[in-house]
Amino acid sequence: MSVIDLRSDTVTHPTPEMREAMAQADVGDDVYGEDPTVNRLEALAAQKMGMQGGLFVASGTMGNLIAVLAHCERGDEVIMGNLGHTFLFEGGGISALGGIFANTQINQPNGTLLLEDIRSAIRADDIHHPISRLVILENTHNRCGGVVLSEKYTRDVADLAHERGMKVHLDGARIFNAAAALNVPASRLTAPVDSVTFCLSKGLCAPVGSVLCGSKEFIQKARRLRKMLGGGMRQAGILAAAGIIAIQKMTDRLVEDHARAKWLAEGLARLPGIVFEMGMPQTNMVFPSLAPDFPLTATDMANRLQKWGVRLGVVAPRRFRLVTHYWIDDVAVARTIEAFKANLI
């Protein structure tokens, strides 16, 4: 029995076309700026984001860390959501490695931060306070259900930040999912911000890597920081070759993942014992919960489902996360619904 892995879109394997491109990649020493495939990837990424430059990094966490270090000095403050990936899942790197303070504000269910909360969080020019230097947004927003931030909201935040002399970084790990959901180019969603990181190795299926994009001056500083953090890779074109295909070929099919997520959610919603407290999916993430009177926990159910060949994430005592991706087809969705049904009744 084949395993249906819905824990995350990070479990995706490279496609056959990617494997062939990796095998044939033209490479050089990227630290010297001599890897033509990396250079091509960075230029393509920058063009897709509407930015002047790009930097290939090992992971989204590294990209976000470099962005914060490039925008801020030690002792500065970053305003971000209390459910943001940079706050919850990146090891406290901005504080441990950058000496930068995280000022967290409450994420609303739609993934936003209230403009008034951001405005109130910005510090006055007072020697007793850290300097408010940066705002971080996340699109799509993982822990809020894979929800999408609109172009208008991002612009409103950027306008507020820029008026106060601050910068805005966008954790756009799944920015192409947001673009697909809104049916707009990704560059429309990134136009208001000063920098953006997006992931190649989630729903886009590349085996490794993210790209950090911004102005030429920003990327020059970021490149130095990447080296400092041990992220200077050599013949990285072998990896970048898969990233090029990810951008060129995989972004256009994300609507299929969204459609399967909707189908999966609708099928689960019809089952007794399943509720959707966080609402139905906007992109490729499905967050069903067990009803309060159901006798098992989410971990109990996950263990049962694993015996049926279905793997999923547990994100709360009674809540799951299921993520559709390239390797989840119609048969996998139908099997998942049947596995839930068999273990709920």
For 254, the token pair is 């994300």
256 has a pLDDT exceeding 90: yes
Q: What is the pLDDT of residue 34?
A: 97
Is the bond preceding 140 in cis, omega lying within 30 degrees of 0? Answer: yes
Q: Rounded to whole angstroms, how far apart are CA atoms 259 and 282? A: 9
321-341 pLDDT per residue, tens: 999 999 999 999 999 999 999
Quote the mean pLDDT of the chain.
Answer: 97
Q: What is the pLDDT of residue 290?
A: 97
305 has a pLDDT exceeding 80: yes
Q: What is the pLDDT of residue 340?
A: 96
For 130, the token pair is 């850290």
Q: What is the pLDDT of residue 306?
A: 95
257 has a pLDDT exceeding 70: yes
Q: What percentage of the chain reaches a pLDDT higher than 70?
A: 100
pTM more than 0.85: yes
129 has a pLDDT exceeding 80: yes
125 within 8 A of 159, measured Cβ to Cβ: no
Neighbouring-strand partners of residue 147: 141
168-188 pLDDT per residue, tens: 999 999 999 999 999 999 999
345 has a pLDDT exceeding 90: no
Neighbouring-strand partners of residue 321: 313
What structural domains and CATH numbers belong to the chain? 4-10+253-344 (3.90.1150.10), 12-251 (3.40.640.10)
Q: What percentage of the chain reaches a pLDDT higher than 90?
A: 99
Q: What is the mean pLDDT of residues 126-151?
A: 97
Q: What is the mean pLDDT of residues 2-22?
A: 97
H/E stretch holding 320 reads: strand 319-323
1 has a pLDDT exceeding 80: no
Phi-psi region of 78 (alpha: psi -120 to 50; beta: other; left: phi over 0): beta
Q: What is the pLDDT of residue 52?
A: 98
Q: What is the pLDDT of residue 62?
A: 98
237 within 8 A of 36, measured Cβ to Cβ: yes
Taking the C-alpha atoms of 140, 146, 150 and 155 in order, what is their torsion angle to the nearest 10 degrees? -40
Q: What is the CA radius of gyration of the chain?
A: 20
Q: What is the pLDDT of residue 138?
A: 98
DSSP 170-216: EE-TTHHHHHHHHTS-HHHHHTTSSEEEEESSSTT--SS-EEEEE-H
Q: What is the pLDDT of residue 219?
A: 98
88-105 pLDDT per residue, tens: 999 999 999 999 999 999
Residue 43 CB: number of other CB atoms within 10 A? 12
192-251 pLDDT per residue, tens: 999 999 999 999 999 999 999 999 999 999 999 999 999 999 999 999 999 999 999 999
